[in-house]
Every structure is written in structure tokens, then in C-alpha cells.
């Protein structure tokens, strides 16, 4: 779903972040986020994302490619 592309970082909640992250995992790795990460891992990653100030899609793509 591309509706998140231009969404301000501060308005992305964890559910939207998980959707974006799952899209990237599915597209790059072939399986959703929960095949690779626990919810606690995702919460920690979300905290890092909020501090990082990158767009969610770019942050997720970079993380998944380096995972």
C-alpha cells in the first residue's frame, strides 16, 4: 500500500509501521515480518525509527535489505 509514502513520521503509529515493514519483508524476503522478528523486536525497531527521522518506507527497506 503506497498511502504511507508521504505520511509525516510523527503521524505513523506502530500498526502502520508494522504494515510497511511487513510489505518490505514480503517483497524482499518472500515472507512477512513475523517470520523474522518478534513483536518485541518490532517495538524496538519502531523506537529506533521514531528517533531516526527517515520516512517509514525508506527506513523499512534499508533495514530489511541489511537483515
Which residue range(s) make up the domain with 33? 10-66
Crossing angle of helices 14-29/56-66, nearest 10°?
Answer: 40
Torsion of CA 61, 44, 6, 12, to 10 degrees: 150
Residue 3 falls inside a structural domain: no
pLDDT at 7: 53
Tell me what pLDDT residue 19 has.
97
Number of domains composing the chain? 1
Would the CA dihedral through 33, 35, 37, 38 be positive or negative? positive
Within a domain: residue 4?
Answer: no
CB–CB of 61/24 below 8 Å? yes
pTM recorded for the entire structure: 0.81
Residue 60 belongs to some domain of the structure:
yes
- Show pLDDT as tens, one digit a residue, over the chain (67 residues): 444 455 555 579 999 999 999 999 999 999 999 999 999 999 999 999 999 989 999 999 999 999 9
Please check whether residue 16 lies inside any domain of the structure.
yes
Question: Tell me, what's the pLDDT at 53?
Answer: 87
Any domain includes 5: no
- Residue 15 domain-assigned? yes
Amino acid at each position: 500500500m503506497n498511502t504511507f509514502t508521504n505520511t509525516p513520521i510523527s503521524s505513523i503509529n506502530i500498526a502502520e509501521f508494522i504494515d510497511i515493514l511487513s510489505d518490505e519483508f514480503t517483497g524482499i524476503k518472500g515472507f512477512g515480518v513475523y517470520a523474522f522478528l518478534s513483536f518485541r523486536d518490532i517495538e524496538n525497531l519502531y523506537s529506533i525509527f521514531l528517533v531516526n527521522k527517515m520516512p517509514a518506507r525508506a527506513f523499512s527497506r534499508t533495514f530489511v535489505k541489511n537483515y
